[in-house]
Structure 1
Amino acid sequence: MGVVSTSAYGAWFYAGQQDGSRRSAERVLPLVFDLVRPTSVVDVGCGTGSWLATAQHLGVDEILGVDGPWVSADALHIPPQCFLQQDLSTPLRLDRRFDLAMCMEAAEHFDESRADSLVADLCAMADVVLFSAAIPGQTGTDHRNEQWPPYWRERFGQWGYELVDCLRTRLWDDQAIEPWYAQNAFLYVSGERLAADERLRAAATENGRMPLCAVHPGVLALFSAPYAPAVPEPADRRGAPRRFIGQSEPRCRCDAPAPTARA
């Protein structure tokens, strides 16, 4: 993130998210916990801690939320001692590892120059990372680096982490979850953990059941709404269809090979 003001992420920002965030966590985390069985969880860009509060409710013994000074203590859904105030525009160094690290719809709020170090931070925290980040055109407050999944797959791959796409097929048609989580949630797992964990290896066999770059109907409705008239024009008055993507614009390279891990 570059210079951030509390006006961008004030109480109003989180107040509008609470119900959907908590409801989504209650649907996503049981699936993840069935695979990972965590006793400790860290959430980078945790906001008011809705996902961590759900993790506690599911029996996690130790939680830590990390976010900036715009999150007020009285808005937290987790104990204040479980929250670390941190300037997330700089690398984050913790003195321990966790069973699971989460970064849910936060990465798009950072400048692109922070992307590589953010992924390095997450990989330093846990062997399994639950990661969700906005795709191009998703819309939202102060989005600075919206990217397709292969962009993040490449960065995790540099640290020897493999994408496990076992959540989207289970979440896609769930009306209780916010559509951006159904669309963007992936697990990234270290090669060592994947080799040693039969449950996660079985989950990884589900890769390829869906296109890596896919837009959820609920998200499509969000960024197409400004272009849809309240009352459609009569057929004889409609203009010719417009091209949404120009020939020179980059396309999602979902068929790109997975990167080689760093030595």
Structure 2
Amino acid sequence: AASMRIDSMGIDLCLPLADETKIFDGITARLIRADLTSALSIEPADLVVCWEVAEHLPESAANDFCKLLVRSTGEFLAFTAAVPGQGGMGHLNEQPKHYWREKLLASEELSYFPHLTKQVSERFLHVAPRAPWYGNNLQIFRRI
């Protein structure tokens, strides 16, 4: 993101190093470690990307995690999560796409964009054919 002159922040569940902030020519890139099952306050961002994270949290944390994503979304949310049977290390809560979509839409603050989801999904399937779950699991939302 910094190379594109975009301020960015990443959150990792198991970051091996301490939190880190770098400034590149006036552009801020932050990487923090956080427990996503506990209360967390994040400034809204124009684009929130939640990429294959939700399935690593226990089901008991799903509602609060989705509320965090909604609060953090300034305009767009790109969301993927492993579906049942996908498998993977540390997966605790593989759910069908509609499970997450219902939770994210429950606040009535986001709307689901099926056409944009389809377009971006097809692109991912084209550029990352060895990881089809990225395209298959993608859902795109926009703040209402």
Whether 2:48 is the aligned partner of 1:101: answer yes
Q: Any gaps of 5 or more consecutive residues in structure 2? A: 22-29
Residues 103 and 130 in structure 1, CA contact (< 8 A), matched pair in contact too: yes
Quote the Cα distance in structure 2 between the aligned partners of 1:143 and 1:131.
Answer: 16
Whether 2:20 is the aligned partner of 1:80: answer yes
Would you say how many aligned residue pairs link Structure 1 and Structure 2? 130
Against the structure 1 CA distance between its residues 177 and 64, is the aligned structure 2 distance closer, same or farther, given a 3 Å change threshold? farther
Quote the Cα distance in structure 1 between the aligned partners of 2:82 and 2:105.
Answer: 19
Q: 1:178 aligns with which of 123, 126, 131?
A: 131
Q: Any gaps of 5 or more consecutive residues in structure 1? A: 1-54, 192-263
Quote the Cα distance in structure 1 between the aligned partners of 2:38 and 2:54.
Answer: 13
Quote the Cα distance in structure 2 between the aligned partners of 1:97 and 1:117.
Answer: 16
Partner of 1:159: 107
Query: Match of 2:76, as an amino acid?
Result: V
Residues 37 and 64 in structure 2, CA contact (< 8 A), matched pair in contact too: no
Matches within 5 A, 1:43-54: none
Quote the Cα distance in structure 2 between the aligned partners of 1:175 and 1:91.
Answer: 34
Query: Match of 1:63, as an amino acid?
Result: S
Percent identity between the aligned chains? 28
C-alpha RMSD over aligned residues: 2.0
Which is bigger in relative contact order (C-alpha 8 A, separation at least 6)? 2
Structure whose residues are more often helix by fraction: 1
Quote the Cα distance in structure 2 between the aligned partners of 1:108 and 1:175.
Answer: 21
Shift of 1:176: 5.1
Shift of 1:97: 1.4
Shift of 1:175: 4.3
Partner of 1:187: 140
Quote the Cα distance in structure 1 between the aligned partners of 2:128 and 2:47.
Answer: 26
**Tell me, what secondary structure is at the counterpart of 2:140?**
strand
Partner of 2:81: 133
**Tell me, what secondary structure is at the counterpart of 2:136?**
helix
Residues 171 and 177 in structure 1, CA contact (< 8 A), matched pair in contact too: no
- Segments of 4+ moved more than 4 angstroms: none
Partner of 1:169: 122
Against the structure 1 CA distance between its residues 85 and 159, is the aligned structure 2 distance closer, same or farther, given a 3 Å change threshold? same
Quote the Cα distance in structure 1 between the aligned partners of 2:12 and 2:99.
Answer: 23
Q: C-alpha deviations, 1:39-90, integer Å up to 9, x for none?
A: xxxxxxxxxxxxxxxx333x1421111123x31239xxxx921112212221
Shift of 1:155: 0.7
Quote the Cα distance in structure 1 between the aligned partners of 2:72 and 2:34.
Answer: 15
Matches within 5 A, 1:190-205: 190-191=143-144
Quote the Cα distance in structure 2 between the aligned partners of 1:80 and 1:184.
Answer: 30
Q: 1:115 aligns with which of 42, 55, 62?
A: 62
Shift of 1:174: 3.4
Partner of 1:65: 10
Against the structure 1 CA distance between its residues 125 and 171, is the aligned structure 2 distance closer, same or farther, given a 3 Å change threshold? same
Structure whose residues are more often strand by fraction: 2
Query: Match of 2:121, as an amino acid?
Result: R
Whether 2:95 is the aligned partner of 1:147: answer yes
